[in-house]
Amino acid sequence: MKQKELNQLAEHFFEKCPTEARNFFHQILDKLEKIEDKISALEKKASK
């Protein structure tokens, strides 16, 4: 998807479904945090 399309989709999502949008982005952030934690753990393990 192009950036313009993503922006339009996000705008529509926030206007039409604010609660669902907030929950969706919180889920994404939680998953990203878990990925970062796994990467950090792997980096620590590799540096030993």
Kind plus residue range of the DSSP H or E element containing 24: helix 18-47
Q: The tokens of 42 are what? A: 């792997």
Confidence of residue 8 (pLDDT cuts 50, 70, 90): confident
pTM for this entry: 0.56
In whole numbers, what is the pLDDT of the chain averaged over residues? 86
Tokens of 33: 């945090």
pLDDT given for residue 13 in this prediction: 74
Domains of the chain, by residue range, sit at 3-47
Q: What pLDDT does 1 receive?
A: 66
Q: Measured between alpha carbons, how far is residue 17 from residues 1, 8, 13, 24, 43 in Å?
A: 21, 14, 5, 10, 38
Q: What's the burial of 45, exposed, middle or buried (CB within 10 Å: 0-12/13-18/19+)? A: exposed
As a whole number of angstroms, the distance between CA 42 and CA 38 comes to 6
